[in-house]
Each structure stands twice: as C-alpha cells, then as structure tokens.
Structure 1
Amino acid sequence: MIRESGSSIRSRPRISKMGNRRLRKVLFICSFSASKHNKACRELYSRIVAKGKSKKLALIAVCNKLLKQAFAIAKSHLWYDENYESVLVR
C-alpha cells in the first residue's frame, strides 16, 4: 500500500491490513513453508529477493500466490498439480 499525495507526503510502502485478520495470519505463516517447498512460490520468492526487495515483501507476494492457487483449485475442482501449465489463447 503506497501512500503519497503530491510532493507533501512520501512514506514507505506498507502492507495493507485489509481483509480477514486470521486468514492473513495463516497465509503468512504458510508462506514460510511454501517459499521452500512449493515450486512456483519458491521461484517467485527468489525472483523478488534477487531484485533487492525485502524478504517480508517477498513473503507477502507468496501469500498472494498461495491464495490464488487455492482459489483456482477450489474453482476448478481439480487436484493440485505442481507441473500444471496454463495455456492462454488470445
């Protein structure tokens, strides 16, 4: 969450506190394990840290990735497949 208003307010970006507090907490704890064992999350975490971003920001990105993966699994009614590649047709 970036807070800036013209040139008068320039603050460090912060993690947004919107959404369910318990869900955020569980996803954050899960992101530690996912950044080591989930292939997609591990690659995302490594890429963000390699850019020089903070590790906490990378963990929040992993949280978002986990949330998107969980939603996709629930919506498609398929088992999780680590090697699944989505093909977008335009």
Structure 2
Amino acid sequence: MPALVAIRHNPVLKALYERLVNNGKPKKVAIVAVMRKLLILSYGVLKSEKPFDINYQMAD
C-alpha cells in the first residue's frame, strides 16, 4: 500500500499521520487520510507537470 510507504519515507505525510493518531483518530482512519493527501499531491504533480517539491507549503 503506497500510503504505508509514504508514512515511512515522506516527512510531510508522516507528520500528518502522527498528528492524527496523537489527536485520537484510529490508525486506519489516519492511513485513509494519508491516502487522500497522497492522491491530491499526485494529481497536483500531474496537473502542473512540475516535480514534487517537499518545501512547497500546501494548505491543509
């Protein structure tokens, strides 16, 4: 599952996952939130035709 790999290796998505779990969300709900964020990021990269920039500030 790409979301699990992203949680391990992408600091932005890892922070999102940890924040949700620390706020009391079940782990599966947090994983689905990471899946959705990963989908949104992927779509943005495809739409803009620019490489992913980890320093880009995205609104939550």
Query: What's the TM-score, normalizing by structure 1?
Result: 0.61
Matches within 5 A, 1:10-89: 29-86=1-58
4+ residue runs of structure 1 moved beyond 2 angstroms?
A: none
Higher normalized helix content (fraction of residues): 2
AA matched with 1:85? Q
State the structure with more CA Rg.
Answer: 1
* Equivalent residues, number: 59
AA matched with 2:35? C
User: Over aligned residue pairs, what C-alpha RMSD do you find?
Assistant: 1.4
Q: Unaligned stretches of 5+ in structure 2?
A: none
Cα deviation code 1:65-84 (max 9, x no counterpart): 00000000001110111111
Identity %: 37
Q: Which has the higher contact order (CA 8 A, sep 6+)?
A: 2
Q: For the residues of structure 2 that align with 1:86 and 1:68, how far apart are their CA atoms?
A: 11
